[in-house]
Amino acid sequence: MTMPHERTRAVIQTHAFLQRLEGDASVSEEVRCMATQLLRHYPSRAEVLLQGLLEERLPAKLLLSPFFASTPTYRPTDRWRDRLCRNLAAILLSCQK
């Protein structure tokens, strides 16, 4: 069974892989175009982490288990989540400029 932090890491790494494919002149134009098309609708790192944060904050009765995590690595809950909230807010605000 895939854990939320593993799923989060896989989605973030897949985004990075598609970006590398998109910019790699050694692969065919068709593959680069497909990577560009997929990236158009693929969630960014900030979006994935924010979704994980929102899911983790939902009451347990609404959700069996979060699909994403607020971090791509496993960490026991601590005050890091509050710091992460501030960091995510800063990232999202900078992306909107």
- Among the listed ranges 16-20, 45-49, 59-63, which one has the minimum average pLDDT value? 59-63
**pTM reported for the whole predicted model:** 0.67
Tokens of 3: 């854990």
As a whole number of angstroms, the distance between CA 18 and CA 16 comes to 5
- Domain assignment of residue 41, given as a range: 4-95
Position 52: which residue type? Answer: G
Residue 36 confidence (pLDDT) above 90: yes
Q: Which residue has the tokens 């932090």?
A: 5
Residue 21 confidence (pLDDT) above 90: yes
Work out how many domains the chain is built from and give that number: 1
As a whole number of angstroms, the distance between CA 54 and CA 37 comes to 27
5 touches 72 (CB < 8 A): yes
